[in-house]
Chains A and B, each alone.
Chain A
Amino acid sequence: MAGFARLYGAGPLHLLSALASFAVAGYAALRIRDLGAAGNVAVWFFGAIVMHDLLLLPLYSLVERVAARLARASSRLARAGSPPPPGVLALNHVRVPAMISGLLFLLFFPSILGRNEGYVGASGLETDVYLSRWLALTGALFVLSGVLFAIRRGRSRAAYPRSG
């Protein structure tokens, strides 16, 4: 048993569970192969990992990093040396509505951009309302976030009044 663990890197139950899970995946893959478009399914299956892990996540992290750097620079300029009220970052009140708006776009972009031609034939409706609805939601998120920021900053300043 110790020999197995040394060779394999874990106990035999680990190997059995792994094989069971791969067997399920293998059987499902065979059923998908029978449908006749397995190659395209594989492209979307593994392409989704590439698109998310190697593109989307790094991209939004980089954008967020640049935004954070800009926010720090501008708040240094604006405040000219005095420390920010603790616990309230303007950055969060920009990136949170931006992230939510971005997520909504990610989920609903076929409708927002009117790429889902089949929708018209299915529902008898046009897709033209979705861009303005998304923009309105985005605007509302930023306004709400701004109002929350003003309230939180006001409270924070009251709790930690500036010296001098």
Chain B
Amino acid sequence: MSSGPFDRDFWRSPLRGPWLASLLSAALLPLIVITALTGFLSHVAYETELPGNAIGGSDGILAPVYRALDWPAGWAWLYAVNQGVHIVAGFAAAPILLAKLWAVIPKLWERPAVRSVAHALERLSLALLVGGALFVFVTGVFNIQIYYPWNFSFVPSHYWASFVFLGALAFHIALKLGVMRRAFRENGVVAPLRQDLAHTTAEASAASESVPTDPKPATISRRGFVTVVGGTSLGLTVMMAGQSIGGPLRNLGVLAPRGRNYGSGPNDFQINKTAVSAGVTTTDTGPSWTLELAGAREETLTRDQLLVMKQSTHDLPIACVEGWSTTQSWSGVPLRDLARLAGARPDDILLVESLQESGSFRDAALTPAQISDPRSLLALKVNGVDLSLDHGFPARIIVPALPGVHNTKWVASMTFRSA
């Protein structure tokens, strides 16, 4: 009697069972924890409590948490590492997540569908768990490819859906920790990986809904299955780490959105937003361009006036939330010198506005710690030459450990004021 895929009996692989589900979960959980933590830290790095920095919606009851946490400028690589880890761990988790869903699919069709109120709540929570996991993965994976086939704003939706996912995950772990312990106690943690194909039979826990009622002979060993899933995860790790670390390793990011090189010139490195897409033209950035500096005093500075001020050069990464980064040698005027010129107070924040007239990230606010770091620059040059238009000519912000998009390009005005 053959049944369709919407029936528990359709799923007959002998590999499915509590042990396989537990092993995949044990691999998945640390990756999810890492992705969640780095995601949270990225939100901290955006300093959403400063004017203009929040991306859609408020932080709600978590606002005091974000107000209390300041993102440091001290470790220049911090945001690059945070986002590299976020994207790498997320991609490394993707094949394991799909394998895990494959391993437990018969439970979707368990009979009876609902046994009790408690069971109904568990199943409802599973909808939030699976929907939440797929939602955060799909939106994240599409976002790094700049693909938005939906009507909602990515950042706040990805952010808040992760709370739905993590809340349901916490409940799921509380329910299933015992199942995992029993599966590992009865089968051993790694013992099933030693069985070859001829010795691969269904798990003994017949009570489990994921173990097939009528198993077919195995066509792959558990070792083979786990090797394939783990190998794919490892391959994706290498690919996404390539675009994060950059340099010659960037070429490993074969399918990664930023696994590509621009050329060998001083301005040939990753662009996050082209001048064309920002609507910035050479007429805006020509000789008539001036920087409007405001604080206790107001100053208007031409690019030539900025160039005769004391220049500083620092190797700093631009690190994108999308998990890629690129380190370049930037030269320009330290922000703290401009703060002094504007008569700013030590606890002032800095609002930076771009020539870009509309769209996201046309402005950003910086914290007092970010302004005072000696490496924070209003950069005029990169790798010894003028910035290209796509990299923010005539002047751009570059601050250690700052999320890439907050390094405002085509700077039009800088205003120091109290927070």
Contacts of A110 in B (CB 8 A): 142, 145, 147
Interface contact A24-B163, CB-CB below 8 Å: yes
Contacts of A14 in B (CB 8 A): 118, 121, 175
Mark B386-400 against chain A: 1 for CB-CB distance below 8 A, else 0: 000010000000000
A21-B168, A28-B160, A53-B105 known; A116-B151 Cβ under 8 A: no
- CB of B199, distance to nearest CB on chain A (Å): 10
In the complex, which residues 25-47 of chain A have their Cβ closer than 8 Å to any Cβ of chain B? 25, 27-29, 31-32, 34-35, 37, 40-41, 44-46
Which residue of chain A has the shortest Cβ distance to B102 in the bound complex? A57
- From B146, B168, B260, A118 is in contact (CB under 8 Å) with B146
Would you call B157 an interface residue if the criterion is a C-beta within 8 Å of the partner chain's C-beta atoms? Answer: yes
Would you call B204 an interface residue if the criterion is a C-beta within 8 Å of the partner chain's C-beta atoms? Answer: no
A31-B57, A118-B146, A137-B254 known; A45-B94 Cβ under 8 A: no
- From A7, A52, A62, A115, B5 is in contact (CB under 8 Å) with A62
**Which residues of B line the A interface, CB within 8 A?**
5-6, 11, 56-58, 60-61, 91, 94-95, 98, 101-102, 105, 108, 115-119, 121-122, 124-125, 127-128, 130-132, 134-135, 138-139, 141-142, 145-153, 156-157, 160-161, 163-164, 166-168, 170-171, 174-175, 196-198, 219-220, 224, 228, 232, 235-236, 254-255, 257-258, 260, 262, 270-274, 276-277, 390
Q: List 13 A-B contacts (CB under 8 A).
A: A21-B125, A24-B167, A25-B164, A25-B168, A57-B101, A62-B5, A87-B196, A92-B224, A100-B228, A107-B141, A107-B236, A111-B145, A124-B271
**Which residues of A line the B interface, CB within 8 A?**
7-10, 14-15, 17-18, 20-25, 27-29, 31-32, 34-35, 37, 40-41, 44-46, 48-49, 51-54, 57-58, 61-62, 68, 86-87, 89, 91-92, 96, 99-100, 103-104, 107-108, 110-112, 115-116, 118-119, 121-125, 129-130, 133-134, 137
